[in-house]
Structure 1
């Protein structure tokens, strides 16, 4: 059956759902009529989604997660039943239940895109009842899916082993190809940073497992020629800001953003060096391929990343930066200083970023993704 209409189900605020944006855009480019059902926490205008039909289900920030989830399931189920399509594309674990019900009642196939490895997710690792619920839930609904895809080879192999399913597709979190902006001083100008200072950049969520407290502590030993800029938002932001004040680093560490995904490269390109130092809080992190790793390559910015299998495969394989132990503050500061001082090494990494940026883009894998899902 030729796929003409696809509905995407996402339990995430579409401001931050870059993978959902890319997959929906790929099906739209292939000639499909696309609708994306996501969530929203506020009334802030959604930027960058003008060409993709989207409907955002209101979620209340002050409601418990369980209640919000049940409300989302009900609303999503009725929206799926009301809207006609040939295929439902389920992004990550949370929408699986209503997607499965609607697919059974309407006789439609669905795709399951596993963004994470829930058997090794830090959110459930030390909560046995919660872990049992979500892993059993995933087991119930993963097998009826027409196809299962995920973000890295190790996660794909784990899903095949645990659930006895065949051929989980791997489509990594590569960015859309973008032109590098000519103005690379936006961050300097907007944050009042002296233009002689080199920006070391983190972009993403401010969460416990991102290791940003270690990075901030490490920055005490980083050469004064550099400043640290943290782009994003999250539950740990206030604690991190307090830590900067406590360590008297508030004049060298700056917080800004977040920015829409279609504008992010303007800010990423201002950096001298990118940081992708997540902690090993379970296999989901250990096997991950973070967006920011590829976004730094796309912006031609060398990086310092965690020495985990998939991250190391790309960073070392393409020679675009250094991989280190993300828990070692002394090693973090030493590696940053090395790349601030060793100009020839830095230039080699930057040249390799330029080459790799032509290959590591979503456009090079999107047709394979559509064929796999069809």
Structure 2
């Protein structure tokens, strides 16, 4: 698996998917290497975690800056040298900047290529980047994506054969979640988890709290995360005198996050842009339904009116109505909880996802040997 950066402790989409999928592949007897750039917080050239070999090659990527052309070119050169010296049965590429080069090298080595595409950049100012991605994506032997929206874009805008595309969600480790115990739910507790940036619209939640505290005097919004909007959000809380109804928590461990999700009555995500929906999947596994603005990644995870509610983006009034409806109707809440957990068990567990991945990879390897 090739990425631009990899941290085994990160719970962000691409990193989390690679970590969990590779770990499960190793458990089933497969050898997995993860290739990435070096990073400031971890420059170890080689380490083994859960049986997965992690190799960091090429330049060191600084956390404080976006990847620059010089760094990309050096990393690409390192990938080319690496792939010439190592034989693989299959190559999984998640590094868009280097995808066209690794695709060409893999063709020379006769290894089939799986390209994992989480999201497409359709910014017209990046014409060259779009062209490179379009060329490289069409060269993949198989394209994996996590949502139907991206699949449609691949077909309609990138002219990828739909038969080459497979949907593969990012799973949830149910065993790890079930190990964390929480004896009860706080029915007045609403949870937000994520970075505190403008497009996350946490201020919408604060507006809603200002209204709902009049009819739900014990309501509590817990905000887990940090970011550039934090100071502004704290000012809103002070100005509206809702300190008793809002709590900020900067950072939590993964176990504490699971506990907080189990304790909460609802997870609310008012973001207009969510790529993966991992948080909602995790909440579902914790028997906690999600109410969210309908965005690309999240709508693949929430089944409207079954496992939670999807709301038209920026519609604060409707978001407030859905939150109040669930808080005031215990039967509705119990049904949503039960269905949310069942949905994850049937669709987003890593065992089934791993077997599906193996099936796809095996077919590609067998075809390449014909």
Given the two structures, how large is their TM-score scaled by the length of structure 2? 0.79
Aligned twin of 1:191: none
Aligned twin of 2:367: none
Aligned twin of 2:368: none
1:78-89 alignment runs, 5 A limit: 78-89=81-92
1:1-374 alignment runs, 5 A limit: 7-11=1-5, 13-14=7-8, 15=10, 16=12, 17-39=15-37, 41-43=39-41, 49-56=49-56, 58-67=60-69, 68-91=71-94, 93-119=96-122, 124=123, 128-130=124-126, 132-166=127-161, 167=163, 168-178=165-175, 179-181=177-179, 183-184=181-182, 198-222=188-212, 223-256=216-249, 258-259=251-252, 264-279=257-272, 289-307=276-294, 311-312=298-299, 315-316=302-303, 319-360=306-347, 361-374=349-362
User: In 2, Cα distance between the equivalents of 1:52 and 1:277?
Assistant: 36
Deviation at 1:149, TM superposition (A): 0.9
User: Is 93-102 or 258-267 further displaced after alignment?
Assistant: 258-267
CA contact (8 A) 2:87 2:109 kept: no
Deviation at 1:359, TM superposition (A): 0.9
3-state SS of the aligned residue for 1:36?
A: strand
Deviation at 1:197, TM superposition (A): 7.2
CA 1:20–1:257 in structure 2 vs 1: closer, same or farther (change >3 Å)? farther
Deviation at 1:227, TM superposition (A): 1.8
* Paired positions, count: 345
Deviation at 1:104, TM superposition (A): 4.1
User: In 1, Cα distance between the equivalents of 2:221 and 2:119?
Assistant: 28
Deviation at 1:94, TM superposition (A): 3.4
Deviation at 1:112, TM superposition (A): 0.5
User: In 1, Cα distance between the equivalents of 2:320 and 2:304?
Assistant: 23
User: In 1, Cα distance between the equivalents of 2:235 and 2:295?
Assistant: 30
Aligned twin of 2:366: none
Deviation at 1:135, TM superposition (A): 1.4
User: In 1, Cα distance between the equivalents of 2:74 and 2:259?
Assistant: 37
User: In 2, Cα distance between the equivalents of 1:257 and 1:207?
Assistant: 14
1:169-197 CA-partner distances (Å, limit 9, x unpaired) = 101223232342453289xxxxxxxx967
1:318-343 CA-partner distances (Å, limit 9, x unpaired) = 71222222412233233222222211
Aligned twin of 1:3: none
User: In 2, Cα distance between the equivalents of 1:92 and 1:341?
Assistant: 46
CA contact (8 A) 1:92 1:114 kept: no
User: In 1, Cα distance between the equivalents of 2:140 and 2:156?
Assistant: 16
